[in-house]
Amino acid sequence: MIFRPLSLVLLLLVAFLPIYFAATQPAQQTRTPIKHVIIILKENRSFDNLFGTYPYGHGDALKGNPIVKELSIPDGVLYMNVEVPNYPGLGFLFGYTKLAYAASPVQQDPGEGWIDYHGDWDYGRMDGFAAYSGPQSMVYIDYDQIPFYWDYAEEYVLCDNYFTAVMTESLPNFLALWSGTTVVSNDVGPPPYLPLNDTIFYQLSQNNVSWGVFGLYSSAQSPPPSEIGWLDDVQGFAGNPAMMSHVYNMSVFYQMLKNNTLPAYVFIDDYGIAHGVSDHPPDNITYSEMWTVNVINAVMQSPEWNSSAIFVTWDDEGGFYDHVPPPQINGLGLGLRTACLVISPYAKEDYIDHQVLSHYSLLKFVEWNWNLPYLNGYVANANLPLAAFNFNQKPRPPVILGPTPDIAGTLGVNRGYVYFENGSAYALTAVQASKQYPVPLQIPIDELPYAAPQNYSGDMGFTASYNYVTPSWVLPVQFYLLLSSLALLVAVLAFNGRGPSSLDLRSPLLVIAIALDLLGSALGIIYPAVPPAPLPPAQPTYSMLTGIGLFVLAVEIVILALPLIKRFSEKKPGELSR
């Protein structure tokens, strides 16, 4: 009897000691001087929309500027006369839409989603934007609207081969940035849910690496599940104190910076943070950029700056035109190209990183830096953004941009004013903003320890090849088959004096019309305009021409059957049994 209590104590020690040591083990050491990775995820912009004419601007407006003329040139559209057909393959009939400068910080919202983005892409031909995301997709902006983003590109690193993870809208790309995978192909659900154990949040917690998700919520910490956005699509996140305790108001972010208590991994999303203050059209992108500058300025003016790396990128390209076809790494992507800015005291100056990077690369950098295993093969096979850094250099002093008010966060926009958490209001026009680019370089170009400028050479650095491609001749052939079928149908209706109800089954014109329509519709089904999504929701993948062709085919079959139907209906009841 005396040994039973002792045995019980030993059993309890064996059970709980591993948990105790796991909870009290020191945080993982890093491979680099970077102790804080801050990801600011913006919304819905392509690379060409933001930086297509960097560094000169529309019409080469600043080409002669003494600072600008020395800057590196990325893979953009500076000297390209870009136009896309209003319908792929049929521009000679339906005309073309040219890429144009949007002389405003406010643009219309292009079409979004798996169908629209894959239609824009058109199997790498990059000519479907006007037809799928709409003519509003064919615009770009420059330093007049986003001077501070251009300043960061000038002072730090701009990645011009950075792609989204999945060729679709926000939710799948958020999930991929958090886990290296997705469970949906569009903004749907939940369900389905992304398993919590597959996320960077769970991995960091298990390895005692601090992390936080920041936004404008109704409480300083652990906000209601209804406010956490896409995090609600992670199974076991909402309502889980172990996870929700890492979700903070932006005011806590600024306080942590002052107290030198910022987590190792920081994720900030601008969409939904404030009404009218987002990069997502039709919000004013100049106001949204100003909010981002406030966040970055706060990091730069804090004790955390010398050990931080800030990545500013966009969740998806938003339907805006981009001319670079993405490489294929799996059945889901990569997605279309967006931009990524790398800002750090160890980031290079005026550096264009041309290597292929993606949302997976940011996830990999976090895991690599903290010596963690990669979540899956997509993350493991992604390129690391190490070329953007020089960890041997002395930490660079911050580049504080402005003018921006010294406040904690943005609440909304009304009548040209931006409203902030402390109750103040601030007005910023595009004209005022445009005077902020360029800014003087910290290091003269000829003193940089690497080749400069880093101009795009014309070599993308990869081959955009795909496992399956719908041939470019399919849509024109479909169109002519449909047109011929319609012409024959009109001829049948026009030249049969007794009207459609008496058309003979043997009418050769109608039979030929049906055959042509069948062939055209079959082509559209065999060669879909958009590849089918391997994840929910199920979506139609045939083109508009295929849809019209199937409708016309149904009409032709009905017309063909009308004489038989009429004869059958005219028979007397007694004749039907004979």
Cβ pair 147, 437 in contact under 8 A? yes
In a domain, 361, yes or no: yes
Query: pLDDT 10s per residue in the chain (578 long)?
Result: 443 444 443 443 333 333 333 333 445 799 999 999 999 999 999 999 999 999 999 999 999 999 999 999 999 999 889 999 999 999 999 999 999 999 888 899 999 999 999 999 999 999 999 999 999 999 999 999 999 999 999 999 999 999 999 999 999 999 999 999 999 999 998 999 999 999 999 999 999 999 999 987 778 888 888 888 899 999 999 999 999 999 998 889 999 999 999 999 999 987 555 566 789 999 888 888 888 988 999 999 999 999 999 999 999 999 999 999 998 876 556 999 999 999 999 999 999 999 999 999 999 999 999 999 999 999 999 999 999 999 999 999 999 997 665 555 666 666 556 666 556 666 655 445 556 899 999 999 999 998 888 888 777 777 777 777 888 899 899 999 999 988 888 877 776 655 444 445 456 888 888 899 899 989 988 889 888 888 888 887 888 888 888 898 888 888 877 777 777 776 655 554 55
Which residue, 320, 279, 321, 313, is CA-closest to 160? 313
Give CA–CA dist 102/149, Å, rounded.
17
CA distances from 7 to 10, 250, 410, 479 (A): 5, 50, 59, 82
Q: Which residues pair with 268 in a beta bridge?
A: 40, 214
Q: Residues 392, 282: one domain?
A: yes
The answer to whether residue 18 sits within a structural domain is no
467 part of a folded domain = no
Query: In 463-548, at which residue ranges do the beta strands (DSSP E only) sit?
Result: none
Measured between its terminal Cα atoms, the distance across the chain in Å is: 99
Same domain, 443 and 530: no
Angle at 576 between CA 570 and CA 578, to 5 degrees: 135
Please enumerate, as own/partner, the contacts of 244-248 that have beta carbons within 8 Å and a separation of 24 or more.
Answer: 245/221, 246/201, 246/205, 246/211, 246/212, 246/213, 247/212, 247/213, 247/214, 247/215, 247/217, 247/221, 247/222, 247/223, 248/212, 248/213, 248/214, 248/217, 248/220, 248/221
Q: Give me the amino acid identity at 210.
A: S
On whether the CB atoms of residues 248 and 221 are closer than 8 A, the answer is yes
Question: Does residue 16 lie in a domain region?
Answer: no
> Taking the alpha carbons of 548, 550, 554, 556 in that order, is the dihedral positive or negative?
positive
300/398 same-domain check: yes
Cβ atoms 576, 570 nearer than 8 A = no
* 127-169 per-position pLDDT tens digit: 999 999 999 999 999 999 999 999 999 999 999 999 999 999 9
Spatial CA neighbour of 453 closest among 352, 348, 347, 341: 352
Long-range contacts of 91-100 (CB under 8 A, 24+ apart): 93/479, 96/130, 97/129, 97/130, 97/135, 97/138, 98/138, 99/48, 99/52, 99/138, 99/139, 99/140, 99/321, 100/138, 100/139, 100/140
Asked whether residue 346 falls in the same domain as residue 257, the answer is yes
**If we measure between CA atoms, which residue out of 333, 332, 335, 330 comes closest to residue 318?**
335
**Domain co-membership, 282 together with 185:** yes
Interatomic CA distance for residues 356 and 273, integer angstroms: 30
**Could you tell me if 166 and 57 lie in one domain?**
yes
Instruction: Report d(CA 286, CA 154) in Å as an integer.
Output: 18
Q: Which of 281, 270, 376, 299 is nearest to 45 (CA)?
A: 281
Return d(Cα 309, Cα 40) in angstroms, integer.
Answer: 11
Neighbours of 29 (CB within 10 A): 9
My answer on whether 354 and 254 are in the same domain is yes
Distance CA 232, CA 222 (A): 13
Q: Are residues 439 and 486 in the same domain?
A: no
- pLDDT of 420 reads 60
For residues 348 and 207, membership in a common domain is answered with yes
* Contact partners, residue 568, CB within 8 Å, separation at least 6: none
* Domain-embedded: residue 21: no
Q: What is the pLDDT of residue 24?
A: 39
How many structural domains does the chain have? 2
Same domain, 218 and 140: yes
Rounded to 5 degrees, what are φ and ψ at 314?
-125, 140
Residues 241 and 125 in one domain: yes
Which residues is 425 bridged to in the sheet?
419
In a domain, 50, yes or no: yes
Query: Which tokens is 458 given?
Result: 């014309």
Using CA atoms of 311, 155, 72, 390 in order, give the dihedral in degrees to the nearest 10. Answer: -70
* CATH code, 389: 3.40.720.10
What range does the domain containing 235 cover? 35-402+414-447
In whole angstroms, how large is the CA radius of gyration of the chain?
Answer: 29
Question: Quick check: 4 and 276 in contact, CB under 8 A?
Answer: no
- Residue 453 falls within a domain, yes or no? no
- Pair (61, 202) in one structural domain: yes
Q: Which residues pair with 308 in a beta bridge?
A: 36
pLDDT of residue 439: 93
* Residue 481 · residue 520 · CB < 8 Å: yes
- For residue 223, which of 245, 204, 202 has the smallest C-alpha distance? 245
